[in-house]
Amino acid sequence: MGEEEKKVSEFNESMLQIQRLHNHWLELSKFREQGDLGKAKFKLDSIEIELMNDIRDVTDKDDNYIGKLENINKEIHNLNNELKSIVELYKLLKEKEIILRQIQQLCGKGSRYRDFSEDEMD
């Protein structure tokens, strides 16, 4: 058994993951608009978990997404419940959302545009 067998999934879960992410983003927007930062925080955690394998794939020394997310998560954890902290929490959650949306885009699970320059012309 010298060579490893290459395995290909018979079921591609990408479309289901995109649907789950879409649902998470919709719920996150609702929580943010309602000012429910606690639910928004947990929803962002769900999105981070959903994208974790992709986050590992796109993280490199130049764009350390894992490090960025770890730093934001630490700052969120260290906040106390003062009004000033609520404003800071909102800013941190917004920053986390932007990073997660960038990762989703980089992984081809967001908006993707078709390159018509490579299409065959008849």
Round to whole Å and give the CA distance between 51 and 100.
Answer: 8
Residue 113's alpha-carbon distances to 22, 29, 58, 80, 107, in angstroms, are 18, 24, 19, 42, 13
One pLDDT digit (tens) per residue for the chain, 122 residues? 455 566 555 567 788 899 999 999 999 999 999 999 999 999 999 999 999 988 888 887 668 899 999 999 999 988 876 667 888 999 999 999 999 999 998 888 876 556 656 555 54
Structure tokens at 14: 């990408």
CB 40 within 8 A of CB 90: no
pLDDT for the residue 117? 61
